[in-house]
Amino acid sequence: MSGVKFGLFVDPDTTRYCGLRLRRLKEAIKKSEVLDALVEELEVVGATGNKMAAIDKRIDTLCATKSSLWFEVAPPEVLAASIFRAKKLGRALVDDLWKRVAGVADLSAALTGWLRLGGFEVFPGGAPAAGRANLIGYRGGGVIATPRAFGIEATNDVAELERALEATKTAHVYTSVSYIACTPALIAEYLWARAAITPRWEAEALGQKLRAAGYGLLLVEGDAVAQAILPQERKPDKAKLAEIASAIMTNEPGRP
């Protein structure tokens, strides 16, 4: 492993490190203030000339050191996580890169638009058997097609995300698919929170938990929504789907 190599055939829009799109990561390291912040954050020595080369060398050393948080972690992951954490960087720059929002309500418009583009009617959560979903997309069946219900739990808080992940272990959910939805910023915050209680950086900590539960992951970046992890499709009992449909139709006046 030599320096921060991104690969020639890696998709810059679907590949992410610490929640951040590779395209945005590449743009970030072109900024002098980001390189200066990385030099300080990673305690880089000898960065008087080519700062990126010195940062690369430092990351190589950290990834090869068994006592380091970054031991055997992919160098681009170290780079992205360090930018997010860099004390010298203005929060406005970091928040823009990771698309931070003030509250969970700020995710609603983008998620509602995403569901409607898929042909779903959108309703508030709270329907029986829909788990912790705070947003539900429902599409009725036809002659051939069967009814489908998408359950989305949007969150903007690490503690709430932890509770949601814990709930996936025991929840009996009868929607066709279930998602957790958040910003890339929350992914980075979650991974750094994990780093405080584990000896190694766990880049796949969230992904492993979601895949084990069959949940998908939606990342909201402004008006855009990306499926970072595909959910496991279920075939819920028709009676359960009808129960969900009846409940959400009752709440129709309060739909998003």
Global pTM exceeds 0.95: no
Read off the pLDDT of residues 139-180 as tens digits, 9 standing for 90 and up.
Answer: 876 655 678 889 999 999 999 999 999 988 877 777 889 999
- Residue 2 within any structural domain of the chain: no
Domain holding 171, by residue range, is: 104-254
Specify if 63 maps to a domain. Answer: yes
Q: Which of 98, 117, 138 is the last residue of a domain?
A: 98
> Is residue 96 scored above 90 in pLDDT?
yes
Q: Mean per-residue pLDDT for 174-197? A: 95
**pLDDT above 50 (res 1):** no
By percentage, how much of the chain surpasses pLDDT 90? 71
Which residue did the predictor score with more confidence, 21 or 5? 21
Per-residue model confidence (pLDDT) at position 248: 67
The C-alpha atoms of residue 95 and residue 47 are separated, in whole angstroms, by: 26
| Last residue of one domain, picked from the residues 74, 98, 122 | 98
If one counts the domains in the chain, the total is 2
Contact by Cβ (8 Å): 217, 180: yes
Mean of the per-residue pLDDT values of the chain? 89
Same domain flag for 181 and 205: yes
- Nearest of 68, 219, 234 to residue 151 by alpha carbon: 234
Task: Please indicate, yes or no, whether residues 27 and 140 belong to a single structural domain of this protein.
Answer: no
Tell me how far apart the alpha carbons of residues 7 and 10 are, in angstroms, rounded to a whole number.
Answer: 6
Residue with tokens 């025991």: 170
Q: Is residue 128 part of a domain?
A: yes
Confidence of residue 9 (pLDDT cuts 50, 70, 90): confident
CATH of the domain at 156: 3.40.1350
pLDDT for the residue 168:
85
Judge if 78 and 113 occupy the same domain: no
* CA nearest to 137, candidates 181, 172, 106, 184: 181
Among residues 30, 99, 42, 44, which one has the least CA distance to residue 73? 42
List, for residues 221-251, the tens digit of each pLDDT value.
Answer: 999 999 999 999 988 777 777 777 777 666 6
∠ CA 172-178-181, nearest 5°, is 130
Secondary structure of 191-219 in HEC code, one letter for each residue: HHHHHCCCCCCCCCHHHHHHHHHCCEEEE
